[in-house]
Amino acid sequence: MQPIVLGAWFPRIPQIQATLDLSAGQLAFALMGLPVGLFAALAFGGRLAEALGTRRLLTYGLIAYLILMPLPAFMGSGVLLFCALALAGLALAIAELGLNVTAAEVESRADRLIMNGCHGFWSVGVLIGSAIGSIFAELRLAPNISLSILSFISLIPLIYSARQITDFSVPKPDPTEGEQKPITKPLVFISLFGFGIAMTEGAMADWIAIFMTDIFEASPGVAGASFTVFSLFVAFGRFQGDKLKARFGVEKLAGSFVIAALAGLLVALFSPTIIASFIGIAFLGLGVSLGFPLAVSAASTLPGRSSASNVAILTQMTLCGFLVGPPVIGLIAEFSSIQIGLLALSPALVMALYFSRFLRTHP
């Protein structure tokens, strides 16, 4: 349920851009607010998880997130949009850190692969939210009203669910096991893999509806549906992930899916018809689906730190992809086209393909 409101935000970005009369570059700056908030929160997220435990971390993060996520749709300028998205990102980071740490603890203690399945359900939430957002867009319901309605409906079920989740008091690592080395080479390599995947996911969330609007002159509903298709195949891939991870090597699995993402990106950007472009978007969603959950599982088992600290550092570095992606794509699009801007994702995926060889879980 957590990402439903977030998913409903993405299809409304073209309308927000039109309402505020923002250029591609100005929109890129404004959209940086969400990853800036995420990045800021995750600088202290690991310590916060260790201090609060997962249940309180989830509860406080979810309440703040549901209050703040509709706020950007009420803003009247690009600068205010940036600030509102930064506040929403701060709360979103705490909520998602609580979810990831809880899943990593359960996976470790139960000795059962669940991380990809958990992210699959998260992707279903994004899918549902983006579908609802696309419907609201087609019905011309204002973004601020629709997001507020979804937040209000989600509040009680989400907080109730958070209170039912097992409260893990995240253990602090033994200082003799290398806590003084906060970032090790394996963690850096895993994070660089995550950077390339996150840059692609963030770009699809922020720009794919605008791409459809600019290139194919799609209606708001059809443009929003492009991200829904992307989310659908991300969810499908993640639900297959734990089964595939048990059968194939993690490194080969990650590399194969990144190759599929590269192929999908090229098809999506250079297809002559909207249907063919949707097929490319589907392959792109499938290709990036396993990236982050595989990285979380690998990072959470690295020795020397608590799983919360490793996951927080991974997420912090990975979300740099979200931080760098929107302005890079926006600036390139400002001086060329949105098609060329999105093509800039290909080097990021090539980098992820190279670093996929370093993904492995430790006993």
Per DSSP, the residues of 132-191 read HHHHHHHTT--HHHHHHHHHHHHHHHHHHHHHHS----PPPPPGGGSTT--S-HHHHHHH
pLDDT digit string, tens, across residues 249-308: 788 899 999 999 999 999 999 999 999 999 999 999 999 999 988 888 888 777 776 666
Determine what percent of the chain is predicted with pLDDT higher than 70. Answer: 93
Tokens coding 42: 């995750």
Closest of 241, 204, 251, 202 to residue 353, by C-alpha: 251
The domain 4-167+179-358: what is its CATH number? 1.20.1250.20
Residues 8, 129: contact at Cβ < 8 Å? yes
pLDDT tens across 209-263, in order? 889 999 998 887 888 889 889 988 998 998 888 888 888 878 889 999 999 999 9
Q: Per-domain residue ranges for the chain?
A: 4-167+179-358
Dist. CA 214–CA 232, nearest whole Å: 23
Dist CA 85 CA 80 (whole Å):
9
Structure tokens at 193: 């893999």
- Residue 18 contacts by C-beta under 8 Å, 6 or more apart in sequence? none
Query: Structure pTM?
Result: 0.75
| Residues in CB range of 321: below 8 A, 6 or more apart | 194, 195, 196, 197, 198, 199, 200, 201, 202, 348
Does residue 45 register a pLDDT over 70?
Answer: yes
- pLDDT digit string, tens, across residues 69-86: 999 999 999 999 999 999
Which of 107 and 284 is assigned the larger pLDDT?
284
Q: Two tokens at 5?
A: 């409101």
pLDDT above 70: residue 199? yes
Residue-level pLDDT at 173: 52
The pLDDT value recorded for residue 5 is: 95
DSSP state of 3: T
- State how far the alpha carbon of 354 is from the alpha carbons of 192, 254, 256, in Å: 9, 10, 11
Complete DSSP assignment for 178-196: STT--S-HHHHHHHHHHHH
Buried b (16+ CB within 10 A) or exposed e, 285-303: bbbbbbbbbbbbbbbbbbe
Q: What mean pLDDT is reported for the chain?
A: 86
